[in-house]
Chain A
């Protein structure tokens, strides 16, 4: 019986410790943005890594997501004789929901995992200790450029995803079902409001912060993670954890933001 309660206590402490670390990590990173001189070059380097190098995968997934939406949307709308609303349905689905979420999930897979692994390996090989011993703040030097780049890139990548998705929907609608071009774009123009765009923008900003925050934190505290520890296996397990937690967090926050802004 005692062992049972000990186990519960231990697990509770681990849980609080783990989420407490996430909070402390974010506060320290945000603080480092304001307490030291801002350097543009490292941020640009991260924008290139997180943003530019994700563009192709975003174009690709955006196009096919839009095409699937066009296909399924037409099938559904056709049942009600409302094919003319295809443009609105595709655009609203992408801008409010699928654009931010799928972009975030793609960037988590491509850049979030790399961020976690990179920082985790730096922790393992004492490079982060070396930075601290050189009196270089690792939060400012390593983490804050990534965080800024994530917050900057996600809305842009989402916008690319949305635009290319809308074009994908149009390609299917026009190419397969001979939907009228004017009604596709006019419907979209009439039914998409600033509130829809604002919701997508807020989501993508929050997701940009979330994905870098969780991935970087998991790597940074690799040595304290239950699944972490040292060695290649520790890095790989922690990276998997970071990807899962970031993805789940994106979906949870997606619901919360939708509920708040709808």
Chain B
């Protein structure tokens, strides 16, 4: 079983590389040796049951937590060996859409999106205004600039979070369960925005999601995390046809089957 992406045709440079990553929280071993590679300009979707450590993988990639064992390299730099300033240099290429958007409650929509520009660049007020409004228009939020996060719906909060993630034109964007809590219509809208912005900006995307099989349409590669390891990472078409038992079980369960085999399911409905 190869746990490193089996994509022979992918020659684009490696942006993120996890090698033998193990993570223990107290007595619980969450990751038991994760190997994963993300290529430039591609979309990697990490799927798996709840509590398997998908978000933990993203936090390793962001340098928010360090592995107990193994290495996490971003743009060839080992995150564990970087000091705070160097880590911030790496992070300046990141955009993140958190599960609950992680908007700053005390700021309105405009200030939330403008924050990275104000804190990280020396742009004038006019330049910042132009960029913020550009991203908010892209998200269809130009009329909600004065609203506070508590006044927004779940879908709007996610769009503000996406606008903030993209405002510095990042090279890599991370999405942690982007459609959690959204209805079908809102999640489709968010996926369309993701697709459109990725086409425009050409960023690399890492998505943690439960939204199977819909998310397969956006993925270049899908990785299944189970038992603390990546059970396989391959293009979505191959993923859905895979004979690897854990992947097969996952696909069958998430494609709407209640049981693993057709016979079991027929028994259930009988």
Contacts and interface: CB of A to CB of B under 8 A. Distances in A.
Interface of A: 121-122, 125-127, 129-130, 132-137, 141
Given A125-B100, A126-B102, 11 more contacts: A126-B99, A127-B102, A127-B103, A127-B104, A132-B91, A133-B94, A133-B174, A135-B94, A135-B120, A136-B115, A141-B119
A97 to B, nearest CB: 37
B64 interface: yes
* Size class of the B contact interface (CB-based, 8 Å): 20 to 34
A133 B100 contact: no
Contacts of A126: 98-100, 102
Contacts of A129: 59, 62, 64, 98, 102
Nearest to A28: B84
Interface of B: 59, 62-64, 84, 88-89, 91-92, 94, 96, 98-100, 102-105, 115-116, 119-120, 174
A136 B120 contact: yes
Contacts of B64: 129, 132-133
A130 B88 CA distance: 12
A95 to B, nearest CB: 37
B98 A136 contact: no
A127 B149 CA distance: 12
B119 A134 contact: yes
B96 A130 contact: yes
B120 A134 contact: yes
A122 B102 CA distance: 8
30 contacts: A121-B105, A125-B100, A125-B102, A125-B105, A126-B98, A126-B99, A126-B100, A127-B102, A127-B103, A129-B59, A129-B64, A129-B98, A129-B102, A130-B96, A130-B98, A130-B102, A130-B104, A132-B63, A132-B64, A133-B174, A134-B91, A134-B94, A134-B115, A134-B119, A135-B89, A135-B91, A135-B120, A136-B116, A137-B84, A137-B88
Q: Which DSSP category, helix, strand, loop or mixed, fits chain A's interface?
A: helix
Contacts of A125: 100, 102, 105
A133 B84 contact: no
What are the nearest 4 A-B pairs in CB distance? Answer: A126-B102, A135-B88, A130-B102, A135-B91
A178 B174 CA distance: 74
A122 B104 CA distance: 8
Contacts of B98: 126, 129-130
B238 to A, nearest CB: 31
A102 B47 CA distance: 55
Nearest to A126: B102
A33 to B, nearest CB: 14
B80 to A, nearest CB: 15
Contacts of B84: 137
A134 B99 CA distance: 16
Contact of A134 (B59, B100, B116, B174): B116
Most buried by A among B99, B105, B119: B119
Contacts of B102: 125-127, 129-130
Contacts of B103: 127
A137 B89 CA distance: 12
B149 to A, nearest CB: 10
A29 B185 CA distance: 44
Contact of A136 (B59, B99, B105, B119): B119
Nearest to B63: A132
